[in-house]
A and B are shown apart, each in its own frame.
Chain A
């Protein structure tokens, strides 16, 4: 239709000629009135009478002008600008309200933005490559689940998969990232994250160089390896000040020289969000140096595949599955042990989308972050309810102004829109402050994550997605808190308010509803926070079986090619030197006494065939004095000592669980066992120690065998010295023992233990903070609403007191009325909290620890706490109400 097209154009034009058009209309209307007046005079009316009649016939000029403007022009530009200007003026006029509202909104929106940007950075943002959607992770899975981060493959299997996938995609490999030594001119001086990648890595991901070249397939196809390296842009800038002369120079990576051939383009950090890789080298080079290359039993590569467009991932999965089966049958099974055979047979391949990278770091935090996201959304809802309440009260105060505007010809829609613009302005302002808060908040959040061996590099620069989210949150917030009050205010009945001026209006009903809603939302947050805090407490106070206090630990590293004998002697010497200091109680070493991983194997008990072979035995090589050092209690027999190191006769110490399982009520001391990895050795059990949780608080207690075999590893030192003094002693002793050994970092053992529950600590801390925030906001809201209604009812109280009510009666009246709101809110809240409790303990399992289902004391505590806070918030204005002076209140009216 041309006509509507013309009309739209005309309306747009009209926006710019508003004044001219207005003048024209006024002219027309004036002459219209004149004609009417003359007619009435002709009929015999007086001039005044005629003018009155003419105005009635034509209708209000102001309304007409306003309506004309709305019909002829777009409602948008000029009106909106005017509204925004007006909104700012109104907000400036009531700084108290504006500050409270903006601050509440900023907290709500800021918390949402912070959590969202973490989720976005760690899990949801696509890899910085050209086709992230076509990238899939090849995962080894079994009936027990995916091996997720630990899905690794041997080099021959990688080659097999590459061949299989050739028609429909391209398989590429990366090594599991770890921090390694790095340096220039033959001296390693820092640790960086490096990654060994297949030659097609960069071409598949379509990542180009900024200088030089990236790795190419020919770099990776020579057995023995082409020792070339590509640096990350970040490292190039940081370490080499973006100097192009680095090309062709030799760097040291993991004590091996590589020639730098190029620098990858800016923004590429590898395929693991949260970790930033700084150097890439060919897999073949790394494998050759470690002597790994062709071994089909050595799994060290992560495999990904870029599927060509249109290839069905399910079909690809089927093909990979078949290829895996064939490889297992042909290559692995013939030499596998029976148990290993069983494991292999149960495995298959899953193809999982990896558009956002492998995200192992992110996934670890996915659950807590999602829970926190839900929490902050609820906090934002509470803020919304709060501000809606404030605005309801404010609009009541502004009733007169609104009425005047309606009377002067503004349409109801126009008034509603104007009020909404004010709320939107408020909300956008809150969002702006919120973003500033979130930038700071996100950094705090990341600093709360446990220190990771690889530098964390979440891309926390707020980008368009995050800004889009914040903007959407702000608008949604404005709609939530602002639309209702705006519409409500615009529906006021004209006649009523123009006559009365200050009558008490029934905004109380929706206000109470909002209050009850806030309390109902706060309670589940409190209960949830309580659950997380209790979990953290349970984890912290749960008995690990050893004592980490007053123990420090440090790792030693030596250059490649240092003879084992030399290192061994150095260890013994360091122990001796350390223990010679007064204050140092005992020092020892072990490859790993706490944390992930660990070593397991089978044990055979001689002369007790009935129990058979068992694979589930944890093995820990323990240096002399280790038990004393970590405070692992002895139950029977003796600890390991330095004589046992000589291995004659071979001995072992077992734990309680082991002893109970194999020997029952009999004594384990003097029994003989044979371990799967050393079939020729028979060991005599010389001691039984307490059960300890070596693999984390949540892990089960294993049957353990502690061996006096030499494996090097980390040092542990128990002392009652000041940590700084101890550090100096350690550094001096290590340097004095052997110059080739380097200390990496001296850490309290407690910190290592605590790191294992850092996720729980983060969840508990943040959910408590947000729970408290929610209560605070709800309390402020309650205070505001009660205070407002009390001030409105001042003369009612005055009358009551004049009629004989005591101060206490007034206070009780206000509190009783508020208590009804509080209790109804809390009652709904208990329902919500029950749901949260159920959800946390079942669906999102693994987040809680040692919590009884529906902990009554927790529910009671939270409820009492919330009701207490709410009553306190209501008490202050109630007390003020009771101090109303009847004379003043009545005179005022």
Chain B
């Protein structure tokens, strides 16, 4: 349980940024929806956790927030990625790919032996 949240903290940031980059402004529900779609059953989490991630990203100024109206005419907060966020996303993506590439190779290496 605790380990899972530890992994989440880093990856969730990346996933939220990626979602906003790909889909444009989204509200909290939309972001949660998007993440669930992509990860499917592999990442079980409370949707509320997204809001903890969002406030962190807001405070780091990687995303912006604006009040607007949702599809069902409710007051909702729409989040969009900022310039700094885009830069961060590129950096993090590269970083992630490098790490996952390395780990992938390592695991394959062990398999073949």
User: Which residues in A have some Cβ–Cβ distance to B below 8 Å?
Assistant: 2-4, 6-7, 10-11, 14, 24-25, 27-29, 31-32, 34-36, 38, 57-61, 64, 67-68, 71-72
Check if A68 sits within 8 Å of B72, measured CB to CB.
no
Q: How far is the CB of A52 from chain B (nearest CB, A)?
A: 14
- A3 touching B84 in the complex, CB below 8 Å, given contacts A10-B58, A32-B28, A58-B47: yes
Q: How far is the CB of B80 from chain A (nearest CB, A)?
A: 15
Contacts of B77 in A (CB 8 A): 24, 27-28
Check if B84 sits within 8 Å of A2, measured CB to CB.
yes
Q: How far is the CA of A800 from the CA of B93 in the complex (A)?
A: 69
Q: How far is the CA of A57 from the CA of B88 in the complex (A)?
A: 29
Q: How far is the CB of B12 from chain A (nearest CB, A)?
A: 12
Contacts of A68 in B (CB 8 A): 51-52, 55
Contacts of A61 in B (CB 8 A): 48
Q: How far is the CA of A885 from the CA of B4 in the complex (A)?
A: 53
Check if A6 sits within 8 Å of B28, measured CB to CB.
no
A selection of 13 A-B contacts at a CB cut-off of 8 Å is A4-B60, A7-B59, A10-B58, A10-B59, A11-B59, A28-B51, A31-B70, A31-B74, A38-B72, A57-B46, A59-B46, A59-B48, A71-B52
Q: How far is the CA of A68 from the CA of B61 in the complex (A)?
A: 17
User: Which residues in B have some Cβ–Cβ distance to A below 8 Å?
Assistant: 27-29, 32, 46-49, 51-52, 55-56, 58-62, 70, 72, 74-77, 84, 88
Contacts of B49 in A (CB 8 A): 59
Check if A35 sits within 8 Å of B60, measured CB to CB.
no
Check if B51 sits within 8 Å of A25, measured CB to CB.
yes
Most chain A beta-carbon contacts within 10 A, residue among B58, B61, B62? B61
Contacts of B46 in A (CB 8 A): 57-59, 64
Check if B60 sits within 8 Å of A3, measured CB to CB.
yes
Q: How far is the CB of A413 from chain B (nearest CB, A)?
A: 12
Check if B55 sits within 8 Å of A29, measured CB to CB.
no
Chain A's interface: helix, strand, loop or mixed, by majority?
A: helix
Check if A71 sits within 8 Å of B76, measured CB to CB.
no
Q: How far is the CA of A58 from the CA of B36 in the complex (A)?
A: 12
Choose among A34, A35, A60, A72 the residue that contacts B59 (Cβ–Cβ < 8 A): A72
Q: How far is the CB of B56 from chain A (nearest CB, A)?
A: 6
Q: How far is the CA of A11 from the CA of B55 in the complex (A)?
A: 10
Q: How far is the CB of B93 from chain A (nearest CB, A)?
A: 16
Check if B70 sits within 8 Å of A6, measured CB to CB.
no
Most chain B beta-carbon contacts within 10 A, residue among A10, A28, A67? A28
Check if A29 sits within 8 Å of B59, measured CB to CB.
no
- A35 touching B52 in the complex, CB below 8 Å, given contacts A10-B58, A11-B59, A28-B77: no
- A29 touching B51 in the complex, CB below 8 Å, given contacts A10-B58, A35-B70, A59-B46: yes
- A3 touching B62 in the complex, CB below 8 Å, given contacts A58-B46, A59-B49: yes
Check if B29 sits within 8 Å of A32, measured CB to CB.
yes
- A35 touching B48 in the complex, CB below 8 Å, given contacts A3-B60, A24-B77: no
Check if B29 sits within 8 Å of A36, measured CB to CB.
yes
Check if B29 sits within 8 Å of A3, measured CB to CB.
no
- A57 touching B47 in the complex, CB below 8 Å, given contacts A35-B29, A35-B70: yes
Q: How far is the CB of A142 from chain B (nearest CB, A)?
A: 68
Check if A71 sits within 8 Å of B70, measured CB to CB.
no
Q: How far is the CB of A47 from chain B (nearest CB, A)?
A: 15
Q: How far is the CA of A61 from the CA of B51 in the complex (A)?
A: 11
Q: How far is the CB of A755 from chain B (nearest CB, A)?
A: 67
